[in-house]
Amino acid sequence: MLLDVVSVEVKPDFVLWLAFENGERRVFNMATYINQKPWNRLKLNNLFQSAFVENGTVTWTGNIDIDPETLYEYSTPSVSLEGVHHFSVSKGEWLREPNQQLSP
């Protein structure tokens, strides 16, 4: 099943926090890919930090992207001490179970 990425947050050590269209929030560790082409260019000039969502996947300047199926399949569900977080597509914001808005 193809799920679009709807939001991305860049974290240290080449980690991406992702929200998918089904409301799941997942963590993808890009470190295993960062030395492979074309992603090795993301280490230059902090390019990795400029990740954005385009056409349902994570993209970077220079026509670099990664398949959304890869992002989903090789990511792990996001869990915190406050509970499971998910992205509400209809509300356009991160939510905490049960249906509570996260504070920044």
Instruction: Please give the span between the terminal C-alpha atoms of the chain, in angstroms, as a whole number.
Output: 32
C-alpha closest to that of 75 among 36, 33, 25: 25
Could you count the other beta carbons within 10 Å of the beta carbon of residue 13?
9
Asked if residues 5 and 57 have their Cβ atoms less than 8 Å apart, the reply is: yes
Mind listing the pLDDT tens digit for each residue in 71-95? 999 999 986 534 545 555 555 555 6
Tell how strand 57-60 and strand 15-20 pair up.
unpaired
Mind listing the pLDDT tens digit for each residue in 6-41? 999 999 999 999 999 999 999 999 999 999 999 999
For domain 5-101, the CATH class is alpha beta
C-alpha closest to that of 92 among 45, 11, 23: 23
